[in-house]
Structure formats: structure tokens, C-alpha cells
Structure 1
């Protein structure tokens, strides 16, 4: 167990906050440059987030949050859990942590120069290993829970593509079954799978994709949007077919449906952010048919609204209420059992239709999530009623810190 940080160390870390605000991204960019020079470490990362700068920015915000809360680390519990789950999905192990320590401390010295005194280097070394020990301990627990559960496994497991379906012109679904013919770990609705993929011409790649299938079925399903210039999404869409084998880690993630609650549920999503919610919806319909559900979804057009027919069928039977928003349709066609709207989901509409007794599950582009979360907070909903998931590298410090 990590020993508590002493007062002097915490004081030095707190004193570096201004430097982190000024140079945080430069430090983490240099850190990743050092880390990625080691092939065994480079293969653990989603390199697309290096190219667009999202990963260094996200890490800089996380480091800043850590420094700002060094005297109240309890506030970081949610962020630590999220990092641990992400690490487990990527099969990060204790032996990887020294590489990160060397790269981070080296980057601090490189960027801050003479300002990075031996005292500062020593304090950040202690602070890093304090947090690392917490993460290593929590990750060990998760690995053991997975491996010991029915159908669970450690490391990577081979899955075969049993079927694929084009949901829209931009989203394809892949059903995956284990090559070994064994049972499946029952995921929590809303969790994701991590993949180790060998993409020709791009070496080994790591990606996370939300599970869109209902827990308890005999397969996992992922629904992937083709991203312009996206190495892996393009490869999946253009190349991966029935019978192909992919390497998959045990389901992970801290964004999942609270099955113990009986409160109404509002799913508030946009774009491909619907994927974890579709799993939640299937779980609710199956296990809690009397629970009040409101499905709110935004896309550019009806043709781009994945799983629309399934939601419309549920709406037509009165299983749920549904509102579809189409940003690029001036007069959207009527939808069986559902309401259709021209334009995007707005905060005005959200406030006018708020259910103060509901739990909101939000997933979509960062700007969409920020608008929705801010609107719900302004209406004084509790933190437990506002749950959301990040796609890609989260780069909003408040969303990162307060995600439930």
C-alpha cells in the first residue's frame, strides 16, 4: 500500500501548478516522445491520439488535476477508477510503470530546465509512484475479478467475426464470438472492449469500442463509425469480414447502467455515442420492462441514425418515449411512435423537457456532452443523476474530474 505523501512533498507539488498550467502540454508531449521511442511501450497506445494532440492534452489535464488536488486526493476517485479501467482494457502491467516514470520526470526536466530543481524532481518522483501504486493495486483487483468470473480471461483472447451488418452508410456492426468456443464474460451494459489489431502498414494498433449488444447474449457486438482518415476504422470497414479473427481484452469501463435503481432513465446521445446506450437499452427492456425510458438522439439525417428501426419499434409498443433530432433535415419525416425534430438537440429543449426524477446517461461529441451536462447542472440535478462517457481522449478538465 502506498505511504501517504509527506507535507513537504505535497507543498512542492502544489507550488508547481502554475508551471503545469503554462507548460503542461509541452511536458506531456515530450513525455510521449520519449515513451514512444520504446517499441514495447509504443504498441500500448492509440497513436492517432498522438497525431491529433489529444493524448498529450488529456494527460496534461490529468496531471494538472492531480497537482491541484494533491491535498484532497479523494476528489480524484472517479478519475483514478477510469484510468484503472482503461489500463486494464489495454493490459497495462506493473512492469510498464517505470518506463512512464522515467519519461515523465525526464520531460519535466527537459521542459522546465533549471526551474526543475532536485527538490521538484524528487517530489514528482514520490507523487508519481504514490499514484502508480494505487493504480497498480486497483488494476490487480480488476484483473483478478475478470479472470475469476465465469467466461472471464486475462490478456488477449481470440474472437472470430461471426457476422457484420451495415447499420448506416458510416456505421458497421461486427458480432464477435470466442474462437475457443468458451463462455462469455457478462459485461455491464455500457462497457467497452479493447482490441490489439495488426493493421497492414501501420503495425500494432490499440482501440476501444463500446459494446452495443445486450449483456448475456452469446456474442459481443461493436458498432464502429468510419472516421475520415481513421486508420483502424477504415480497415475495419473495408477489410474485416466474417471469419476474420481479432484479439480482444476483457470488457472494461466505469460508464455502465445502474441496474439497482428504479428511477426513470433518459438516454441522451448524438452520433456514434449511441453505442453504449444501445447495450443499456437492451438490458433495460429485458430486465426492467416497467422502468420509464426516454431515448433522445441526434444525428445529421434519419438515414444516419443507427438502430433507428429498433428504437421506433419499441416506441410504437409504448416501451419507451423517443425523440429524434436531425441537424440537416428541415422537415424530417414522421417516425413511428416517436417525435422527430429539425435541428440539433438544444439545451433549451432539454430544460423544457427535463425529468427531475431521472438519471441521464450522456454520450457523444465533447461539445455535445459539455452543453448537456452544463444544462442539467444548471437545473440542479445531483451528480448521481448525470452520467457520461468519453469517446477518444477526454480533454475537458471539469468533465474529466467529475464524470460519474
Structure 2
């Protein structure tokens, strides 16, 4: 429990964090990796270079200060980050290192603007928040380990099948090297994949959504090869059938809500991947609730898993499916391979969506922003809009989440 004077000092620092938060966290990461380069084996290097990770941390630190009298307001964010930390192997001993370097970064950037009592208040507050993370993450480690077929840390899975789904997207089917069963997962969850790339001194960990039936005997990840993506390129070019990948147990909070209301799945590009596991779960459900699946991509050449989605939709009367192509080819037009040409907008959504339900969004930040605003313009309750951003929320975060420092 924080003392009243501690709370007052933290509140006093809120304007400073609003103004200098990104500088503090950029300083923090530089300092952290200089002093503890071994932590580069855990953190995503690409997000560091793009500035997304410092911005996400700045949001979280600011949120903690802004909500210091009601920390329960940031529990959804804490839970999301805790899942991510569990999936990459963050341990209790990492927290004192992070805390020390964060406080030094605050002192370095703010200098005489940060009084000694204020710094002490942040030290006390960090200890409380770190204890919350450590406790929650240990619970998640135990849940992952104690579920049937579960494990703690990383486990070797064999690539039993590699399938090219489009010009830039490939699926990898994974089964346990030890022959033991895999645990089920919640539709929408992801696994972390840890790889060691030859000539690279550090290991790299990336999260990939599970894109198949949650009850299957295998896992499947469907990976887009990014132009400058070190890990995705390595997976596409070097990992073949018979290769072994080290992966975490499934994690993540972007999962289906239990409801009888309509479910709307809105995705773009490789954002299709968590939606497909949701779609398969909904197809197998005894409920006949209305399900609407909408996927946007450039054209049929970039459209992954098209036929798989069509098979599901065509064999279940309660599932509606729509494809939106922003740049269809002549062949796409001739064969009527899509339902809407151009970008998804509120005017078109109004013709296919119900007025209520649970809405799930996943895709590039611009797509997320536009769809979120379109849904709001149609009167959809923000609380009914669930979203997943691959990586820290550097480019876009819904307004309500941004106020709480969400780092989804």
C-alpha cells in the first residue's frame, strides 16, 4: 500500500512524464542494454530500432502515474504485458535490473526537475508495481505448466509441414519433438518462437498467433515475411520440414468472449491468423449465434488461407463471409473473387453489420484505426470492440486504451 505522500509526489510527476516520457524510456533502454547486453536475448530488437518499445513503456509508466490512486484501472494492461512477459521468459530477477536503470534514466533526463523525494516515491511505486507483475506472471507460469500437456519456458517442436499460403505468407505446422501431447489454447492466443540465427550473437524471440483449430493435435503459425524482418525471413528461408523450433506455451488475452450475441471478426493481411482460430472454434460451437467474418487484403495473390475460410463459411449457415480487395487484379474482377473493392469504410460496414455484438479487430495500425473509428461512427459501444496489435502499440492505440497506457 502506497503512503499518501508517495501518491502526492507521483501525481506531481505526471506532467513531467507526459512531456519527457519517451526521452526517459529511450535513455532507459540504451542504458539497460549497455549494462546488461544479455537482455538483448529477450527483447525485440526491431521494436527498439523503430521506437515502438520505448513508446509503449512510456505509455505504461505514464498510466501508472496518472492512475496511482486507482491502479485497478491499468489491470487489463498489466495482464496483457504479463502474458507477453511469461511467453518470452521474463523472470523475477529481471525486475530489480529494470527498476534501477529506469530510475537512473529518470534522473538523467529530468535532472533538477526530479526532486529526491519524488525519485524515492518512484522507487517505492516501482516496487509495488513490480511485485504485481511478478505475482501475476508466476501464476501464468504455473497455469502454463500445470495444464494437460503444458510446460514452463520453452519446448522443442518439430516442423512437420510447411505450406506457402500466398506470395509473402507461409504456414508452419508444429508437433512435439518428445511425442507428448500439446495443450489446447484459447482461440486468438499466440506462442513465442525463439530462434538462433547463425552469425548473430543474440537469440531472437517473436510472437506468432496460432491459426488453426484449438483442439488439433498440432499447432500452426502463419507467418508473413516482412521486408526487414530478420526472424520472419529466417523462418521462410531456412526453416524446413524436420526443423526444430523452440516455443513457449500459448499466451495472450485477445480471445473470444463467452456470449450469445453476434460475433464480428474484422482482419487485414496477416491479422487473419488469430481470427481463423476463432472462426474454427465458432464453427464447432453448438451455438448458432450469428458470425460475420470480414477480411481485407490487396488481392488474391496476397490472400492467404482463402479456400480454408470459404470451406468453413460455406458449410455453416450461421457464418457469413466477406472479402475486401483494395487492389484487385483483372482476374479477381473477372471471377468475382471479392465482395468489396477498395478500403473498408463505415458506409459499407453499415450494410453488413448488426448494430450490436462483439467486434474483434486485427491488422496493420492504419486498418485498426480506420475500422475502430468506423465502428464508433456506427454507434458501436467501445467496450464491445476487442483488438490485437502485433507488437507494442507504437503507431495506434484506441483512445480509451491509450489513456490507460495499453501496450497491446
TM-score (norm 1): 0.94
2:272 to 271, 274, 282: 274
Matched residue SS, 2:233: helix
| CA distance in 1 between partners of 2:44 and 2:316 (Å) | 42
Structure 2 partner of 1:342: 341
Q: CA deviation at 1:80?
A: 0.8
Alignment of 1:28 with 2:20, yes or no, is: no
Q: Is the 8 A contact 1:312 1:335 kept in 2?
A: no
Unmatched 5+ stretches in structure 1:
none
Cα distance change on mapping 1:67 and 1:151 into 2, 3 Å: same
Q: 8 Å contact 2:174–2:218 — kept in the other structure?
A: yes
1:388-399 counterparts in 2 under 5 A? Answer: 388-395=387-394, 396=396, 398=399, 399=401
Give secondary structure in 1 for the equivalent of 2:245: strand
Give ranges in structure 2 of 5+ residues lacking alignment: none
Mapped partners of 2:134, 2:316: distance in 1: 47
SS in 2 for 1:333: helix
- Residue by residue over 1:76-109, the C-alpha shift from the partner in whole angstroms, topping out at 9 and shown as x without a partner, is 1211110111111111111110110011001001
User: Aligned-residue CA RMSD in angstroms?
Assistant: 1.9
Contact 1:330/1:343 (<8 A) preserved? no
Shift of 1:376: 2.2
Partner SS, residue 106 of structure 1: helix
- Does structure 1 residue 94 correspond to structure 2 residue 92? yes
Deviation at 1:61, TM superposition (A): 1.3
Q: What is the alpha-carbon distance in structure 2 between the residues aligned to residue 334 and residue 189 of structure 1?
A: 35
SS in 2 for 1:297: strand
Structure-1 residue corresponding to 2:204: 205
Measured in 2, the distance between the counterparts of 1:323 and 1:209 equals 24
Deviation at 1:382, TM superposition (A): 3.0
Q: 1:7 maps to what in 2? A: 4
Match of 1:145 in 2: 143
Aligned to 2:327: 328
Tell me: CA distance 1:378–1:8, structure 2 relative to 1, closer, same or farther (3 Å).
Answer: farther
More off after superposition, 282-291 vs 219-228: 282-291
Moved more, 61-70 or 343-352: 343-352
- Give the superposition deviation at 1:318: 4.8
Confirm or deny: 8 A CA contact 1:25 1:56 kept in the other structure.
yes
**Is the contact made by 1:35 and 1:42 (CA closer than 8 Å) also made in structure 2?**
no
Partner of 2:15: 18
Q: 2:76 aligns with which of 70, 75, 78?
A: 78
